[in-house]
Amino acid sequence: MTGKLPFEALSVETLAARLGANEALCSHIGKDTSRWKVREVGDGNLNLVFIVEGATGAAVVKQALPYVRLVGDSWPLPLKRSFFEYHALTRQEARAPGSVPAIHHFDEGQALIIMEYLSPHIILRRALIEGRQLPNIARDIGLFMARTLFRGSDLSMATKDRKADLALFADNVELCDITENLVFSDPYFDAKMNRHTSPQLDRIVAELRADRDLKVEAQRLKHIFAANAETLLHGDLHSGSIMVTDTETRMIDPEFAFYGPIAFDVGMLLANFWMAFFSQRGHEQSGMRDAMRAYLLDVTVEAWSVFRTEFSHLWRTERTGMLYQKSLFEDQGDRLGAEQALDHMLHQVWTDMLGFAGVEVHRRILGLAHNADFETIADEDLRATCEAKALKFGRHIAVNRRQIHSIDEVNKLAALIEQENGI
Ligand code: SR1
Ligand code: MG
């Protein structure tokens, strides 16, 4: 296939005929297409994802569709998101080696990426719903965030390169628009595609939407998201964008990548652990999940601590960009000045991270795109109880983020809300 053919969506039936001559794919799985087995496994909101197994191996073929899969062709979405995903993956691999799947081939015209088949990895969200405690995820994700977010910023890159990259990713307009609306605005009014567990949550939802402080805070966060082009973000770093085994962690799906605030990836990620925490009550059919709840809070502590430590290490050892240049600090014998600036920066990331986490919790319960942590709780009253607690928690950390000083304080609040009765 060449990039010059008009775009055509692949199917299980056509994939072998259309990609049978693709050298990159054949070199990984074998060229005898009669032995290829093709499955479509995409369960995300946007794309087609095929697993193709051949005589000598397997690969993933991911193809963007010209519309939002979750909604259908009434919501067109440009194919170029595949271009941004490809370029984000190459940068993430360079900045945090081994953290993303290997790319075998990219075809811009067909909006498809052929990449490493991760096996026996499963989606982190699924593992957390099953109650699996994975020992390495906090460390792996903390390192990934620190390395990609630091090395994609003006703290590290030559400013000419960063500006060129900023211009490249600035065109990811439609995916940013999804986040701008779905995360920061739609949850806070009666937007058309919203849904929530009803009637159980109706009163709470009405209260949240009438909450002026919350609405203002959500818009301040949207402003930071849109205006603070600090670094190349993953842009959609939730537990559905991470694949795991007991010992390995890989980040996938960075099609929402663009230049935004460091705190956004961190906040979205931690929000998903806090949602996993509040959803555990709904998954206790085969036994209490107290240990899992404690594990999930520990993960937030460790992920934040690893992020901070690694970011600080890179600040001290790789600060080669135009921001807080060493010529103003260390080279003048003012090491403490550099430490003071680092403290300020981490404090800002902390405060904004809490805000982004709060609105991410809200949008997964009130907006269009829900998450399986709550959705798989079949008993609607029980689901609503879990969701109501998460909503309360999300509101508190978003609105009071400037008064919260430690992750232990956040987790104490989560534990207190979790123990409350009713909704
Ligand atoms: C219409 S897309 C909805 C959500 O799915 C993606 O995974 C992003 O999180 C987006 O907000
Ligand atoms: Mg995705």
From 183, 236, 242, 359, the mutation candidate for ligand 1 (largest count of ligand atoms within 8 A of CB) is: 236
pLDDT at res. 134? 98
**How are the residues of the chain apportioned to helix, strand and coil, as percentages rounded to the nearest 5?**
55, 10, 35
Q: What is the pLDDT of residue 92?
A: 98
pLDDT tens profile 302-346: 999 999 999 999 999 999 999 999 999 999 999 999 999 999 999
CA angle, residues 182, 184, 189, in degrees to nearest 5: 80
Q: How many angstroms does the Cα of residue 253 sit away from the middle of ligand 2?
A: 5
Q: Indicate if ligand 1 lies below 6 Å from the C-beta of 369.
A: yes
- Is any ligand 1 atom within 6 A of the Cβ of residue 70? yes
- For the residues 400-419, what does the mean pLDDT come to? 98
**What does DSSP say about strands 231-232 and 259-260: parallel, antiparallel, or unpaired?**
antiparallel
Using the predicted structure, report yes or no on whether residue 286 has a pLDDT greater than 80: yes
45 within ligand 1 shell (Cβ under 6 A)? yes
Flag whether pLDDT at 401 surpasses 90.
yes
Q: Report the nearest atom of ligand 1 relative to the CA of 183.
A: 11
At residue 5 the predicted structure's pLDDT band, cuts being 50, 70 and 90, is: confident
- Tell me, using a 6 A CB cutoff, whether residue 9 lines ligand 1: no
pLDDT bucket at 135, cuts 50 / 70 / 90: very high
**Alpha-carbon distances of 204 from 73, 217, 282, 385, 421, rounded to whole Å:** 33, 18, 19, 11, 15
Average pLDDT value for residue range 284-288: 96
Q: Which ligand is nearest to the CA of 47?
A: 2
Give yes or no for a contact between 293 and 300, defined as CB atoms under 8 angstroms apart: no
Give 113-140 as a 3 state SS string: EEEECCCCCEEHHHHHHCCCCCCCHHHH
Q: 354 near 404, Cβ under 8 Å?
A: yes
| Ligand 1 atom nearest residue 71's Cα | 1
Atom 11 of ligand 1 has which residue's CA nearest to it?
Answer: 179
Establish whether residue 236 lines the binding site of ligand 1, counting it when its CB lies within 6 angstroms of any ligand atom. yes
Give me ligand 2 centre to Cα 114, in Å.
16
User: Which pLDDT score is estimated for 229?
Assistant: 98
Taking the centre of ligand 2 as the mean of its atom positions, its distance from the CA of residue 47, in whole angstroms, is 8
- Which atom, in ligand 1's list, is nearest to the CA of 178? 11
- pLDDT (tens digit, 9 = 90+) per residue, 37-83? 999 998 888 999 999 999 999 999 999 999 999 999 999 999 999 99
Band (99; pLDDT cuts 50, 70, 90): very high
Residue 193 near ligand 1, beta carbon < 6 Å? no
Expressed in angstroms and rounded, the spacing between residue 39 Cα and the centre of ligand 2 is 18
> Is residue 4 predicted with pLDDT exceeding 90?
no
**What pLDDT score does 179 carry?**
98
- The per-residue pLDDT for range 207-256, each reduced to its tens digit, is 999 999 999 999 999 999 999 999 999 999 999 999 999 999 999 999 99
CA–CA separation, 395 and 229 (whole Å): 25
The pLDDT of residue 380:
98
Ligand 2 center from residue 337 Cα (angstroms): 40
372 Cβ closer than 6 Å to some ligand 1 atom: no
pLDDT for position 43? 83
Nearest CA to ligand 1 atom 9: 236
Query: 423 pLDDT exceeds 80?
Result: no
**Which atom of ligand 1 is nearest to 238's Cα?**
9
DSSP class per residue in 140-151: HHHHHHHHHHHH
How far apart, in whole angstroms, are the C-alpha atoms of residue 304 and residue 24? 38
Computed over every residue of the chain, the mean pLDDT equals 97
* 359 close to ligand 1 (CB < 6 Angstrom): no
Which residue's CA is the nearest one to ligand 1's atom 3?
Answer: 369
| Burial call 366-376: b when 16+ CB within 10 Å, e when fewer | bbbbbbbbbee
- Indicate whether residue 218 lines ligand 1 (CB < 6 A): no
pLDDT of residue 284: 97
At residue 148 the predicted structure's pLDDT band, cuts being 50, 70 and 90, is: very high
Q: What is the pLDDT of residue 2?
A: 47
DSSP state for residue 102 in the 8-state scheme: P
**Contacts for 220 with CB less than 8 Å, ≥ 6 apart:** 355
- Asked if residue 373 has its Cβ within 6 Å of ligand 1, the reply is no
